[in-house]
Amino acid sequence: MQPHIPEYTAALGEQDFLLSATIRRPGAEQAKSFLTQGAYSSGLTLRDDYQFVEYDTKLGYYKVSQLPFPDTPFWHLYKMKPAVAQTVPELLNDYFLGACSISTIYQTVCNIDIQRHDYLIQIRTPEPNILLQQQLATFVYNKLQQWQGNCPNN
């Protein structure tokens, strides 16, 4: 990964898989509709027991959980400051950075869905790489184009 994205954190050595991608190809319109349903907005508006908020001063995003930090097993990352009266933007990627959890292997792992043309790419990577999500999605998209060309009949 690092030759393609130098900032990428490879925490556990070269034998570890630090990025996985779940790829769907529902079409551009449907992919967009997946990302405009207000998913994960309850953390941004502090509903459904989301009440614990931490601001990461180094990385500049908000962490929200239903349980107190640092013992919570699940938390969400937001670009915007969570508040009861917060307005939820239409597109998921304009306010949400990822859904994270404790991982036995990588300490923390986060998931985020990103659209690239008619693909819906779900990136799964350790939290330190979450701000690289757009580059990672582009990397995966470029790989898909390359893999299409690998097939003799394409």
Partner 1 sequence: MAPGCLAVLYFICPPTFTGPSGATLAILLAMALETKLMRILTHCCAWSLLFTLSSCSEVFADFERIQLGNQQYCIPKEYRPYQYGRTSRVFSFAGADTDNRPASLIVQFQGP
Binding region for partner 1 (CB under 8 A): 1-3, 10, 12-26, 34, 37, 39-40, 92, 99, 113, 139-140, 143-144, 147-148, 150-154
Q: What are phi and psi of 69, to 5 degrees?
A: -75, 150
| Min separation Cβ 57 and partner 1, Å | 27
DSSP string, 78-132: ESS---TTPPPPSSGGGTEEEEEEEETTTEEEEEEEEEETTEEEEEEE-GGGGGG
Q: Quick one: 57 or 154, whose CB is closer to partner 1?
A: 154
Q: Quick one: 2 or 87, whose CB is closer to partner 1?
A: 2
Q: Quick one: 1 or 110, whose CB is closer to partner 1?
A: 1
